[in-house]
Amino acid sequence: MRTIYHINGLTCTSCKATVENTLSVLPDMQHVLVDMAEGKLVVDAAVRYSADALNEALPGKYTVTAYHEVEEPAPVKQKVIETEAEVSKLKQLFPLFLIFGFLLLGTVLGAVPEFEPKRMMLLFMGLFYIVFSFFKLLDVSGFAQSFAMYDPIAAKSQGYARAYPFLELLLGILFLLEIAVIPAILVSLLTLIPTTLGVTRTLLHKQKIRCACLGTVLKLPMTEATFIENSIMIVLGVAMLFG
């Protein structure tokens, strides 16, 4: 059944993502779409949700009120707009794979001609943090909201969530310049391990939320690739400490 509501509190594209991701995991929910231009919230669900029930699930800045109801079964498949169409997991993750390919290329080129393992690990970690912080810094506020949905520390501290892109940038610079490497590795592990635990919990609960690793510019789903990405960085960090 489809129900259309009016929603207030939308200020940017990250708000749209937050509302859709939050409501999508509710029981019996089939499809959620936010129309920012008209301030509408379109909900397809096996049961009818009251506006109060949706308000309880959403963060306090958003307010849902009754708008218009359609008493017809929700379509099984609906292509509302092209960006919301169903696409394969590989296609969705293509930007992430492409970035990792460039990171590997940059690491190899930067290590020429010695190809010393420690230098290559520092190069990869430095480039990783620099590139990923760039995407997060394009929309710090939007990233912080998405990040807080699965990172346990960010969920309790918006200050930490907002500072995270700048912390990544600093770590990237330290790794590339090989300055304070051991402290940088320790900080890296202290931030990556909680995030990886949050990613694992999200995957185990089969929650459909977007990964914040590339900010809000690229809409990446939370998948096993996110877990692998974080795990690689943790393994490299541990190897640098004890290698």
SS (H, E, C) 58-120: CCCCCEEEEEEEECCCCCCCCCCCHHHCCCCHHHHHHHHHHHHHHHHHHHHHHHCCCCCHHHH
Please name each of the domains of the chain with its CATH number: 2-70 (3.30.70.100), 87-242 (no CATH)
**pLDDT tens-place values along the chain, 243 residues long:** 788 899 988 887 778 878 888 888 788 888 898 988 888 999 988 888 888 889 888 888 889 997 655 544 545 444 444 444 445 667 777 888 899 999 999 999 999 999 999 999 999 999 999 999 999 999 898 888 888 888 999 989 999 999 999 999 999 999 999 999 999 999 999 999 999 999 898 888 877 677 777 776 676 766 677 788 889 999 999 999 987
Q: What is the pTM (predicted TM-score) of this model?
A: 0.66
Q: Is the dihedral of CA 153, 162, 146, 3 positive or negative?
A: positive
